Amino acid sequence: MPERLTPEVIALLVSRDFADGDIVNLGVGMPLYCRRVPPTDVEVLFHSEQGLLGFGPIMKEPPPGHKLQTAGQQSVHPMPGMSFMSHDESFALVRGGFVDYTVLGALQVDAEGNLANYQRPGRITGSLGGAPDLALRARHTYVMMTHTSRDGEPKIVERCTFPLTAVRCVDKIYTDVAVMRIEAERVLVEEYAPGWTIEQIQGITAAPVAPAPDMREATLA
Amino acid sequence: MIDKVVSSFDEAVADIPSGASMHVGGFGGPADWPAYLIAATARTGIDELTISCCNMAGVGPEAFAKMIVRMTEGASPVGWNVAPDHVTVALLLERGQVRKGITTFSTAMRGAMKSAFESMVEQGRTELELTGQGTLSERIRAARAGIPAFYTPAGADTPWAEGREVREIEGVRCVLETALHADFSLVRAHAADRQGNLIWDHPSSFNATMAGAATMTIAEVDQIVPLGDLKPAEIEIPGAFVNRVVLRPSTPMTSWREAH
**DSSP per-residue letters across A116-128:** E-S--TT-S--B-
> pLDDT at position A65, please?
84
- Mean pLDDT throughout A88-105? 98
Q: Could you give the ipTM of this predicted complex? A: 0.96
A39 pLDDT higher than 90: no
Pairing of strands B21-24, B49-52: parallel
Count of C-beta atoms within a 10 Å radius of residue B75: 11
Chain B partners within 8 Å of A131 (Cβ): 132
Q: Measured between CB atoms, does B33 come within 8 Å of chain A?
A: no
How far is residue A193's CA from residue A219's CA, in Å, rounded to a whole number?
Answer: 8
User: Looking at chain B, how many residues does it have?
Assistant: 260
CA distances from B192 to B204, B231, B248 (A): 13, 11, 12
> pLDDT at position B70, please?
60
Residue spans per domain, chain B = 9-150+180-247
**Closest-CA residue to A182 (of A190, B185, B251):** A190
Q: Measured between CB atoms, does A127 come within 8 Å of chain B?
A: yes
- Mean pLDDT throughout A84-109? 98
Question: For A7-34+99-217, CATH number?
Answer: 3.40.1080.10
Q: What is the dihedral of CA B76, B82, B85, B91, to 10 degrees?
A: -160
Residue spans per domain, chain A = 7-34+99-217
Q: Which of B114, B138, B160 to mutate to test the interface with A (most CBs of A within 10 A)?
A: B160
Which B residues 150-209 touch A at CB under 8 Å? 152-160, 200-206, 208-209
pLDDT tens per residue, range A101-116: 999 999 999 999 999 9
Residue A9 parent element (H or E):
helix A7-15
> pLDDT at position B75, please?
45
How far is residue B4's CA from residue A141's CA, in Å, rounded to a whole number?
Answer: 46
User: Looking at chain A, how many residues does it have?
Assistant: 221
The number of C-alpha atoms within 13 Å of A181 and in the hemisphere containing its C-beta is 11
pLDDT (tens place) for every residue of chain B, 260 residues total = 999 999 999 999 999 999 999 999 999 888 999 999 999 999 999 999 999 999 999 887 777 766 665 654 444 444 444 455 568 999 999 999 999 999 999 998 766 778 999 999 999 999 999 999 999 999 999 999 999 999 999 999 999 999 999 999 999 999 999 999 999 999 999 999 999 999 999 999 999 999 999 999 999 999 999 999 999 999 999 999 999 999 999 888 888 888 88
Pairing of strands A45-48, A52-53: antiparallel
Q: Are A76 and A70 in contact (CB under 8 A)?
A: yes
CA distances from B115 to B22, B23, B48, B60 (A): 20, 19, 19, 8
Question: For B9-150+180-247, CATH number?
Answer: 3.40.1080.10
Residue A140 parent element (H or E):
strand A140-144
